[in-house]
Each structure stands twice: as structure tokens, then as C-alpha cells.
Amino acid sequence: MRDVLKKIKISIFRFRFGIFHLLLTISIFVSSSYMLRAKNEEARYLRYAARSLLAELHSINAACDQSTQDYYRILRYCDDILPQGASLQLILPKMPVHKYQFLREKGRYFLYPRNYGNNEQEADFILVYLLEDFRIPDTYRVCKVFAENKYLLARHDCPSQGK
């Protein structure tokens, strides 16, 4: 009888131990899946927040406007060919102010070592961008035409590609 009771106690202990392991395994699985789901939701939110922030910046700054999407390509071209000490005048439309003022400041920043002067003296180069009624001064020649109303004017000879 004692042997039977001992076997029953051992089997009950093993049963409890098995149940404990089963419950422990289930709780680890549930908590892991919850953490993974929370991590995925956090990653999804961060991707959404980054995309919406970028979209907001683009809409505020008009950086991805279809009419101005080639602006940085043109600035890069100007950065490649214009000498460091050259004076440059950026001519952009006046309206809408927030859009073109942003592009003007970005152009000045992008082409930094060039002298922008005070627009009272003639600059060595003029970058005309999206201005349809601009009359080219007699002392300037068209150096490069990027599009119908996007071009670079030079007062002297147009520099070749490369600084």
C-alpha cells in the first residue's frame, strides 16, 4: 500500500511539475508574441511617423513640387562649373513667397562659396529659374539652358564642366 501511495505521490508531483512547465512555456510564448506584436506596432508607427513628417516637410518647403523637382540638379551643375570666387545672382519668381524664398535660401546655402553680392553690381553669372518674363541683359550670354524658363547666364565666357 505504501508503495502505491508513493507512486501516486510521485505521479502527482510529476503531473504538477509537467503542468508548471506547460504553463511556464505558454506564458513565455504569450509574452514573447505580445512583445513582438508591440515591437511591430512601434516599428509600423515609426515608419508612418517618419513618412508623414517627410511628407509634411515636402509640402511645407515645396521640395517635391513637380515644377521645382530639378532645382537641385541644376544647383549641382552650377556647383560643378562655377568658379569658387565667382559672383552669382539667383533670379526666381516672387510669388508664392514661402516657396521661392525657401528655394532661394537653399540655393545660397548649396552654392555657398560664391559671392551673392547686393544685386546692385553685375554678377558674373545669373541663374534664372522659372521666370518667364525675364529679359536677358545685353552684357550676358546664355551659358546653359536646362529647360524653357530655366537657364544660366554668363557675363564672360561660360566655364567648362569641372571646377
Q: Grid coordinates in use for 45?
A: 508607427
CA 69 to chain centre: 13
pLDDT of residue 65 exceeding 70, the answer is no
Q: What is the DSSP string of 83-147?
A: -TT-BEEEE---SSHHHHHHHHHHHHHHTTTSB---SSSPPSEEEEES-TTPPPPTT-EEEEEEE
Identify the pLDDT of residue 113: 78
- 153 pLDDT tier (thresholds 50, 70, 90): very high
Identify the pLDDT of residue 150: 93
Identify the pLDDT of residue 146: 93
Mean pLDDT of the chain: 79
pLDDT of residue 63 exceeding 60, the answer is no
Closest CA to 88 of 140, 126, 122, 120: 126
- 53 pLDDT tier (thresholds 50, 70, 90): low
